[in-house]
Amino acid sequence: MAWSTREIAELAGTTVNTVRHYHQVGLLEQPDRMSNGYKQYEVRHLVRLLKIRRLRDLDVPLDQIDEVTLDGHSSSEALRAIDADLATSIERLQRARAEIQAILQGSSVTGVPAGLEDVARWLSEPDQSLMLIYAQLYDHEAMQDLRTMIREDPESPGREFDALAPDADEPARAELAERYAPTIAKALRDYPWLTEPGKHLSKSVEVTRNTVVESLAALYNPAQLDVLARASALAGVALAEEQVTAGKQTP
């Protein structure tokens, strides 16, 4: 007996397009055609198609099906590699489910990267957005350092900074920058990589710099950006003075 493409697809529990795709990638040989041009699939085609389906149900990628032979003598090495991939996928899905459960129970948030949930309450919405962006630019160690910075000084003039109006006057900006500078100086002192982050970057220096600049400009208003620039400059001066003092005290 011979089957048409539609008939063999139905028998195998798949679709005509899938059968045609298997032909295109070389997994299923083309059948003979009848005098009228229609394909005529035989039992061997059906068996081959069912074996392919069996491996696809096991999540074996199409490009590895030939490595995991279909004649009952599967490659142990190929199967072990596929099993390792499945284990990784299962672990990722389990982490995702745990995170979703935490969010449903109110003990986690989606506005910050994984690992920073416990400090999210101290971060404004722009700060949380910036942390999400940072997680794409910096490695895990750097992100954990940022988490520690937030935990160590959660109330550093963050609230005043968050509330700073775009048209805040000069005295307000200067005063806030003066109070913000020690926080920045401490961070630079405790985490020197902040000034030379190269080894902690997951992207190029140029991409990181441009992304950070664009993100800051989009997330914070002009007055806040001015305060950040002033506070950073003051922190740099303070650290330079500390180095000069330390040098004088060295025998």
Using one digit for the tens of pLDDT, what is the confidence trace for 143-169?
A: 999 999 988 876 667 788 999 999 999
| CA atoms within 13 A of residue 218's CA, in its CB half-sphere | 9
Taking only the tens place, the pLDDT of each residue in 11-55 is: 999 999 999 999 999 999 999 888 777 889 999 999 989 989 988
Quick one: how far is CA 84 from the chain centroid?
A: 21
Model pTM score: 0.60
Q: Can you tell me the distance from the alpha carbon of 207 to that of 215, in angstroms, rounded to the nearest whole number?
A: 12
Q: What is the pLDDT of residue 206?
A: 93
150-165 CB burial, b ≥16 within 10 A, e <16: beeeeebbbeebeebe
Of 225, 196, 195, 206, the closest CA to residue 126 belongs to 225
Relative orientation angle of helices 205-219 and 125-137, to the nearest 10 degrees: 170
Name the band, by pLDDT with cuts 50, 70 and 90, for residue 133. very high
**Tokens of residue 84, six digits:** 């390792």
Q: How many CA atoms are closer than 13 Å to the CA of 175, on its beta-carbon side?
A: 7
Residue count of the chain, please give it. Answer: 251
Helix residue spans in the chain (DSSP H): 5-12, 16-24, 43-57, 76-104, 125-137, 140-152, 158-163, 170-190, 205-219, 222-249
> Residue 195 above 80 pLDDT?
yes
* Predicted local distance difference test score (pLDDT) of residue 61: 85
Most confident of 59-63, 68-72, 110-114, 197-201: 197-201
| 164/173 Cα distance (integer angstroms) | 8
Nearest-angstrom CA–CA distance, 182 and 186: 6
